[in-house]
Amino acid sequence: ILESSLADIKFAWTEAGLREEFEAEEVADLIQALFAESADLKRYALSTLVNSLLESEKPVPFEFLINGQFLRTTLDEFLTANGISAETTLSVEYVRALLPPTQTATFPHDDWVSSVDVLSATSPAARWTRDAHIDGSRQRILSGSYDGLVRVWNTSSELVATSPSLGNGGHTGGVKSVKFLSPTKLVSASLDRTIRIWSYKESTTSPATATIDPAFELYGHQSSVDSIAVHGPSGRILSASSDHTVGVWTAHKSSAPEAPTDLLPSSLPSSKRRKLSRAGPTVPQRGPLALLAGHAAPVTGVAFSPTAPNVAYSVSQDHTLRTWDLLAVPDAPNTAEVSSRMVAHPLLSVCVMPGLSLVAAGTSARSVVLIDPREGAARVVAKTLKGHANSVVALAQSPVSEYGLASASHDGEVRVWDVRGGSIAVQGGDSQGDEGKGLVVESVFTLPRESMKGKPRKVAGEGVKVLGMAWDRDIGIVSGGEDKMIQINREAE
């Protein structure tokens, strides 16, 4: 290996895009490090070496990829396990190791937390409005709850604002999904079949107080609206409903179509109607730009392409990921479906990974699959991320690495993955069609619920199912669930 590979060992500083070739004596050090006796010693030696080469003031922990695979054993074991002969050229890459966030904060809630979003200087809603004035004290966390309320919090666990309750212009069922459209506009979706747009206003006093006032309500879905995605610059909203359709809506009231009258609460024959119409402000009602048909089962997740906002993705319990061309909306919604990719399991969550040209989807079969959305692509599932013990219901891309992904599961955990590498699936394992044949990736670390500390694990994540999650560069990984808690995990400063 020494003779044949020395000159070919190349290092790439992937995050900064900096590439370096080694001096002869540095390569000698590297070889020594690579052949260190124990895996720990080896990783430490490699890390020290790279830090000294980079002349870093503060040592940074690194991970090493050899031929695209994470090196987690000794090199000898690695070469044997992967059937690599000593004659082969090795490509070595080092990347900043993902560190388990050590600082946590929790906010108690009155009821199950179904969904969370964040507002920070680096969050989408702030970037869309070019609002660079969101310092630490103005960072906000948005939560949706099964009690039907939308809440805004500061990062010190203090409640800043609560949406109106049922009868006062609020939702008449549990909230399933919430998003910041801008620093002053919120969107929520509910079991009550509606999507609501809210104006969010903060006082300039300290501590800040704020109000959430209904702007208008969107009608069109025939069943619960379980997930939404928003795009600030266009004011577009996508919705995933258990009525099997994908809704396309506008947050601009003046250009929104009229609401379909047969779905309004005023057409309810039940006594519920009397309860609902009692008092309360009259909130304007609007309808969808389009309801995209195609899925054959509940739609569970929607996403805009971050690089091409006229492209949308949806996932469904019908096992498919569908790609939609929003330029066809509203004139020819029947032609909006671009492609449909089928996997072996019902899909429950979605996240676009633009740097990889892949779409991640969480399954009811306890995995995350990385799907190539293109109709012509030879392989539907590029990789399978395994380790969760229950349905994967929320996904978020790392704010710093195009390879980083976080997944939230009904097993009561959030897992963080680096989707590089992976090993060939063991035959006969949890194999199902395409998923069984691809590469299997294991998670880098796991974030359990703080509320479970010191308590025995319950079957099926009972009491601690994670239901919603967001990942922000400034705030960290924010998650909420059945434990009635919002939990923040972030790296120590």
Using CB under 8 A, list all residues that contact another protein.
112, 146, 173-174, 191-193, 222-224, 242-243, 262-265, 267-272, 297-298, 317, 344-346, 348, 364-366, 389-391, 410, 428, 430-432, 458-460, 462, 465, 467, 482
Residue 260: CB minimum distance to another protein, A: 10
**Region for 294 from its dihedrals, namely left if φ exceeds 0, alpha if ψ lies in -120 to 50, beta otherwise:** left
- The single-letter code of the amino acid at 68 is G
The minimum distance between CB 440 and another protein, in angstroms, equals 16
37 CB burial (10 A radius; 0-12, 13-18, 19+): exposed
Least separation in angstroms between CB 412 and another protein: 12
Shortest approach of another protein to residue 417 CB, angstroms? Answer: 21
Pick between residue 235 and residue 298 the one whose CB is nearest to another protein: 298
**Residue 231: closest CA among 213, 245, 250:** 250
Between residues 254 and 271, which has the closer beta carbon with respect to another protein? Answer: 271
Bridge-based pairing state of the strands 320-325 and 311-316? antiparallel
Q: Given the complex with another protein, which of 218 and 475 has the nearer CB atom?
A: 218
Residues recorded for the chain: 493
Name the residue with tokens 């994540």.
461
Residue 404 or 461 with smaller CB distance to another protein = 461
For the bound state, the minimum distance from the C-beta of residue 371 to another protein, rounded and expressed in Å, comes to: 18
Smallest separation (angstroms) from another protein to the CB of 335? 27
Residue closer to another protein by CB (options 211, 364) is 364
> Please, which residue, 75 or 191, has the CB nearer to another protein?
191
Min dist CB 242 to another protein, Å, is 5
CB of 273 or CB of 379, closer to another protein: 273
Q: How many C-beta atoms lie closer than 10 Å to residue 173's C-beta?
A: 15
Residue closer to another protein by CB (options 432, 446) is 432
| In the complex, least distance from residue 422 CB atom to another protein, rounded to whole angstroms | 21
The CA distances from residue 175 to 33, 99, 187, 208, in Å, are 53, 33, 11, 25
- For residue 390, the minimal CB distance to another protein (Å) is 6
Alpha carbon distance 106, 157 (integer Å): 7
For residue 227, the tally of other CB atoms under 10 A from its CB is: 28
- Give strand pairing partners of 322: 314, 340
CB of 459 to another protein, least distance (A): 5
Cβ-Cβ contacts under 8 Å for 128 (sequence gap 6 or more) = 182, 231, 232, 233
Q: Which residue has the tokens 């010693």?
A: 41
**Based on CB atoms, which residue is closest to another protein, 45 or 464?**
464
Residues near 328 by beta carbon (within 8 Å), at least 6 away in sequence: 334, 335, 336
In angstroms, the CA 295 to CA 376 distance is 20
Return the number of the residue (105 or 264) whose C-beta is nearest another protein. 264
Strand residue runs (E) in 295-391: 299-304, 311-316, 320-325, 337-342, 347-353, 358-363, 367-371, 381-386
First to last CA, the chain: 41
